[in-house]
């Protein structure tokens, strides 16, 4: 049983959370929230140097190290990179994770994003939140719980959808005070950062993360921000818990 102040980020790959929501996670951690970062895959295709098994071990260790900077826990559902499926087996993994963690807040990827892995992970997270209290769905490792968690979608990569249109955030969080920890957590993913440094001769990994955070910050007159859209469909909470918890750091549009 948790205190109710538990937050889960459920992405597709290690480093998804670091790009799009760890600033907000860091702010919640300062408010006493317990942090869980999970990925559908270990990012086993994110290399030209290692085997699947080797890069999986490396990237899970990097993700665990990053989560540890917030005294958080890392979970991997062990799906295959590029092959995340919206099917019964995968959904049961995600539902079981949500039931074990019992989050009040869940962050996931944008429903429209540059790759299908991100979009599928988003759909899976939505269903896992909705189904966590359905008693006729059995998961061996944990039982059902209510209520449905608050669900927030992170920004898509480059802040645009698959047609190049800008995605407007409805909730923006000023993360200027924790930008240093966000950068440190992203840099824990050395296998990805070093690959770009070697092949592109530029630290694009950090630069691209900061570029979107600066853009979102400009929208609310601060240095850096993260943008989200809240899922407000039937059965999901309708109030904005981020505003309640983080106060003036949160701006709604």
* Structure letter (DSSP) for residue 236: S
Burial 211-243 (b: 16+ CB within 10 A, else e): ebbebbbeebebebbbbbbbbeeeebbeebbbe
Which tens digit of pLDDT belongs to each residue from 213-240? 999 999 999 999 999 999 999 999 999 9
**Omega into 147 within 30° of 0, i.e. cis?**
yes
Place of tokens 């993994």: 93
pLDDT: which is higher, 49 or 34: 34
Per-residue pLDDT for 202 more than 70?
no
- Taking residue 49's Cβ as centre, other Cβ atoms within 10 Å add up to 11
Whether the pLDDT of residue 93 is over 50: the answer is: yes
pLDDT digits (tens, 9 = 90+) for 121-133: 999 999 999 999 9
Distance CA 65, CA 233 (A): 35
What stretch of H or E contains 183?
helix 179-187
Per-residue pLDDT at 20 exceeds 80: yes
Query: What share of the chain has pLDDT > 70, as a percent?
Result: 95
Signed CA dihedral, 104, 110, 112, 115: sign only: negative
Q: What average pLDDT does range 190-218 have in this prediction?
A: 82
Structure confidence at residue 39 as a pLDDT band (50, 70, 90): very high
Residue 75 β-bridge partners: 38
Measured N-to-C along each axis, helices 190-200 and 52-68 cross at an angle, to the nearest 10 degrees, of: 110
Strand, helix or coil for residue 36: strand
Residue 200 has pLDDT above 60, yes or no: no
Q: Pseudo-torsion of CA 188, 175, 179, 58, nearest 10°?
A: 0
Domains of the chain by range and CATH?
6-233 (3.40.50.10320)
Of the two residues 199 and 36, the one the predictor is more confident about is 36
pTM, 2 dp: 0.96
């Amino acid at each position: 049983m948790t205190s109710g102040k538990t937050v889960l980020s459920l992405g597709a790959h290690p480093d998804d959370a670091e790009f799009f929501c760890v600033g907000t996670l860091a702010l919640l951690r300062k408010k006493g929230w317990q942090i869980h970062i999970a990925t559908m895959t270990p990012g086993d295709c994110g290399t030209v140097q290692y085997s699947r098994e080797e890069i999986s071990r490396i990237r899970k260790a990097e993700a665990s190290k990053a989560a540890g900077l917030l005294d958080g826990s890392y979970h991997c559902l062990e799906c295959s990179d590029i092959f995340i499926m919206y099917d019964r087996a995968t959904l049961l993994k995600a539902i079981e994770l949500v039931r074990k963690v019992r989050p009040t807040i869940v962050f996931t990827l944008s429903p429209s994003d540059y790759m299908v892995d991100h979009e599928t992970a988003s759909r899976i997270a939505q269903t896992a939140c909705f189904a966590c209290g359905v008693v006729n769905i059995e998961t061996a490792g944990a039982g059902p719980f209510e209520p449905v968690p608050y669900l927030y979608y992170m920004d898509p990569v480059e802040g645009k959808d698959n047609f190049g249109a800008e995605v407007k955030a409805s909730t923006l969080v000023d993360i200027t005070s924790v930008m240093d920890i966000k950068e440190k957590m992203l840099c824990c993913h050395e296998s990805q950062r070093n690959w770009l440094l070697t092949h592109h001769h530029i630290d694009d990994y950090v630069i691209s993360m900061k570029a979107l955070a600066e853009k979102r910050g400009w929208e609310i007159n601060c240095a850096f921000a993260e943008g989200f859209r809240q899922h407000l469909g039937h059965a999901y909470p309708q109030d904005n818990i981020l505003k309640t918890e983080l106060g003036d750091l949160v701006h709604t549009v």
